[in-house]
Structure 1
Amino acid sequence: MLDSDIPEFAAIQFFDHIYHDKTLDGSFQLSTPKMQRLLRSYHTNKSVQKHVLNMRFDTVKIQPSTRSAGRNEFAKDAKIALFFEGELDGDIFKDMRVVELLRIDNKWKVNSVSLD
């Protein structure tokens, strides 16, 4: 169980909204304005999965890297590696993304997602 005040929690929640909700509204709340503009331009969860993240899944399990990011209580930004294991059309896929988060008003917000 992750503490809701750490960047790993915000990153996992962000992707959980993209992969398990019907709309992107939950992910908007966990995004910086820059990321919100990007997500809004793709309109739907499936479009974001395909074009922004380049990872589509029918079902997915998301886990943070086993390495700790260190003490984040005073940090203003963080980079978190997340591991994805899921199924698409009966095939198993594993992938990883690095999520850059910024602390805005004492809340962690996703600013960018990359392969490295």
Structure 2
Amino acid sequence: MAATKLIELDPGKYSLLLDAGSTQVDDIVADLGHEPNGYFWAGVARRLVATEVQHLDGRFGYDPEAGMFCAYGTDREALAELGGLLDAVASDGERIRAIVAEAEAEGFDFDD
């Protein structure tokens, strides 16, 4: 089951949503000392863009809240690609552990 949902709010304007606190890795995230909220997932998204899919940088914006991660923009393909990455991470405990460990080793702040 996908953790993210891509919706079209207005013609040509899209939002990628993830309901924080509803992923398969929430307990792992908490065990790692983080709050599995929308801000944490925005940090994960920023981290993925910076380290794995740099071609997505600048193609959408972020607007997280405590209960929800949101990325938005007009580039549906970029948001769909990010959604696929987040779906994979949100269901893979080893992957979220690796992302958090690498990020913390580099001083990255998830801002959660």
Which TM-score applies when normalising by structure 1? Answer: 0.30
The structure with more helix, counted as a fraction of residues:
2
The structure with more strand, counted as a fraction of residues:
1
Greater relative CO, 1 or 2 (CA 8 Å, sep 6+): 2
Which TM-score applies when normalising by structure 2? Answer: 0.31
